[in-house]
Amino acid sequence: MIYGIRRCSIGYQYRIVGFPSWQKRNPRQGLLIGVCMSEMNQVLIVVGDASETVDTLYPYLRVQEEGFKPVVAGPEKRKYNMVLHEIPTAGWDITREFEGYTIEADIAFSDVDPEDFVGVFFSGGRAPEYIRYDPSLVRLTRAFFAANKPVACVCHGVEIPAYAGVVEGRRMATVPKCRFDLEVCGGTFVDKPCVIDGNLVSGRTWHDHGQYMKAWINLLLEWRDGSAPRLSSTRQ
């Protein structure tokens, strides 16, 4: 017996009594043919203007190698300008910034339904300090944590879950300049290239991609294959 229906990015989904997942109905056969791909294969990549290029593009491409579809989300559905960050060996005491590539957001934060995604990635750069105040981003961030879905975060990306109030009691890596943001919100700073705390995986900068990314990918695969512990998602 069907007791729910909703539209998803690849058609309509149905939920039947006694079955926990949304299903897609084949319009020709009239049969339930399995969990909607939007729920099982999509991974959210959070960006804004001045997201760091390498922070963003590495996970964007990496998830595709495992059969996931990256969906880029921003404050609006439009093109965003990314940047490149490096710490020069001489002549500068702070991070130097260059213009990077652009990236097109597939969806606005306000239109994101966390139930349609396997996990989420919070990219670094200067964007997080601005976009973290977006109410829709706060809502979806809390939903991913509440559902225990795989979350990855690098560099300044920590500013988003910190502002959303979901890092209290959690261990995380981040760039040292964001240590205060994490600790003032109740988190514990760990200066390592890969920190795993339950569903949360984090690295310090893009230089750590090769250390922490695989751990997050493994969590995504476990969730997609149904072997990860799941909690009900809530909108806040």
By annotation, the residues acting in catalysis are 156
**In this structure, are residues 100 and 81 in contact, taking their beta carbons and an 8 Å threshold?**
yes
Q: Beta-strand (E) ranges in 87-198?
A: 96-104, 107-108, 119-122, 151-154, 171-172, 188-189, 195-197
Residue 126 to residue 191: CA distance in whole angstroms: 20
SS3 225: helix
End-to-end CA distance of the chain: 30
Tokens of 41: 């294969």
SS (H, E, C) 32-45: EEEECHHHHHEEEE
Q: What is the DSSP string of 69-111?
A: EEEEEESSSSEEEEEEEE--SSS-SS-EEEEEEEEE-SEEGGG
**In this structure, are residues 53 and 207 in contact, taking their beta carbons and an 8 Å threshold?**
no
**φ/ψ of residue 145, rounded to 5:** -70, -40
Amino acid present at 171: R
